[in-house]
């Protein structure tokens, strides 16, 4: 193929980067389903179908035993609870927006809020210190590479994360923050702490995926720390197993104040 053929093909193809956030967000695939929602008023008092089938105990009775809570920080989004619920108390929303600033904001149900409180920005002072761009050092702290793969997708031509001033760097000394995946195995704890210590102040920490938030399917394993917030102060939680690239991008942009507060 000649240089002319390459240029001609590029002209025909045009811009392949998604229009989001200036245009509509791309639709999630059918198998994804997006965020879950819970209407605990539909729950039957004697029903335990969703709790018994949940692999991570993300669905629990409230303390007063009058309803259930759904922890999206623990949820693997396998959809089993949706399939077995006889009253459709738990349903898919097909909504990609799930990132929050506080871990407790991921808990829905009778003992908590009915819908997610989406992430707010870091604040004018910190954003002004970071400037118009942010550099992140990614650490896989015992992950399976699913979250890592979807983070890598954001660097492709279809997403072009760099157009928002967000880049991943090799050295923590060049970073403004750390992005963590995996349940933080004991073997990775020291490496995670050293990476965090090497990042200059001010700095931020982001937990991506169920493992980094709560330990995911490894939450009860003694060889993990069941998430990163027991090691580092987390500024942004992005749930999923793995989170869709659109969910990750949405969370990063909200944290930096590049999206509205809808």
Predicted local distance difference test score (pLDDT) of residue 106: 95
- In a domain, residue 243? The reply is yes
Using the predicted structure, report yes or no on whether residue 237 has a pLDDT greater than 80.
Answer: yes
Domain membership flag for residue 216 = yes
pLDDT at position 16: 79
pLDDT of residue 165: 93
Is residue 209 within 8 A of residue 236, CB to CB? The reply is no
Cβ count near 254 (within 10 Å): 23
Does a structural domain hold residue 1?
Answer: no
d(CA 36, CA 143): 23
Alpha-carbon gap, residue 224 to 183, rounded angstroms:
6
What is the tens place of the pLDDT at every residue in 142-197? 999 999 999 999 999 899 999 999 999 999 999 999 999 999 999 999 999 999 99
Instruction: Please check whether residue 63 lies inside any domain of the structure.
Output: no
Quick one: pLDDT band at residue 3, thresholds 50, 70, 90?
A: confident
3-state helix, strand, coil in the chain (%, to 5): 30, 15, 50
Does the structure show a pLDDT above 90 at 128? no
Has residue 124 got a pLDDT over 90?
Answer: no
Q: Give the per-residue pLDDT at 101.
A: 96
Q: Is 176 within the bounds of a domain? A: yes
Is pLDDT at 131 greater than 80 in this prediction?
A: no
Res 110: pLDDT: 67
String of DSSP letters for 128-181: HHHTT-EEEEEEESS--SHHHHHHHHTTSTTT-GGGGTEEE-S-GGG-SEEEEE
Residue 11 placed within a domain = no
Find out whether the peptide bond into 21 is cis, omega within 30 degrees of 0. Answer: yes
Model pLDDT for residues 48-91, shown as the tens digit of each residue = 999 999 999 999 988 766 688 999 999 999 999 999 999 999 99
Compute the residue count for the chain: 262
Domain that holds residue 245: 124-255
Task: Give the separation between CA 75 and CA 86, rounded to whole angstroms.
Answer: 19
Q: What CATH number does the domain containing 241 carry?
A: 3.40.50.12280
Over the chain, what is the mean pLDDT? 90
> What is the pLDDT at residue 41?
84
Q: Is residue 244 part of a domain?
A: yes
Which has more confidence, 177 or 226? 177
In the numeric block, the tokens 């590049």 are attached to 258
- Answer yes or no: is 246 within a domain: yes
Query: How many domains would you assign to the chain?
Result: 1
Expressed in angstroms, the distance from the first to the final Cα of the chain is: 47
**pTM of the entire predicted model:** 0.91
Confidence of residue 109 (pLDDT cuts 50, 70, 90): confident
Q: How far, CA to CA in Å, does 23 sit from each of 15, 28, 47, 78?
A: 14, 15, 43, 29
Burial readout 139-170 (b: 16 or more C-beta within 10 A, e: otherwise): bbbbbbeebbebbeebeeeebebeebebebee
Q: Which two tokens stand for residue 242?
A: 């793995």
pLDDT at 7 over 80: no
The reported pLDDT for the residue numbered 4 is: 75
């Amino acid at each position: 193929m000649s240089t002319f053929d390459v240029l001609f093909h590029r002209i025909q193809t045009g811009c392949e980067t998604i229009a989001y956030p200036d245009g509509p967000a791309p639709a999630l695939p059918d198998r994804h389903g997006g965020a879950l929602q819970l209407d605990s008023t539909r729950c039957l008092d004697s029903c335990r179908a969703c709790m018994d089938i949940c692999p991570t105990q993300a669905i629990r009775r409230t303390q007063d035993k009058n309803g259930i809570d759904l922890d999206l920080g623990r949820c693997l989004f396998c959809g089993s609870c949706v399939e077995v619920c006889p009253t459709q108390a738990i349903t898919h929303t097909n909504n990609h927006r799930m990132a929050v600033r506080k871990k407790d904001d991921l808990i829905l149900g009778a003992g908590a809020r009915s819908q997610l409180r989406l992430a707010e920005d870091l604040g004018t002072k910190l954003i002004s210190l970071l400037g118009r761009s942010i550099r992140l050092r990614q650490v896989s702290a015992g992950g399976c590479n699913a979250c890592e793969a979807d983070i890598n997708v954001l660097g492709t031509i279809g997403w072009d994360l760099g157009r928002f001033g967000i880049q991943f760097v090799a050295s923590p000394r060049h970073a403004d923050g750390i992005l963590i995946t995996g349940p933080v195995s004991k073997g990775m704890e020291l490496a995670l702490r050293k990476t965090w210590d090497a990042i200059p102040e001010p700095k931020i920490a982001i937990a991506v995926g169920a493992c980094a938030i709560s330990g995911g399917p490894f939450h009860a394993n003694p060889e993990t720390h069941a998430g990163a917030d027991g090691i580092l102060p987390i500024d942004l939680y992005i749930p999923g197993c793995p989170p869709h690239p659109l969910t990750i991008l949405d969370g990063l942009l909200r944290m930096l104040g590049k999206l509205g507060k809808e």
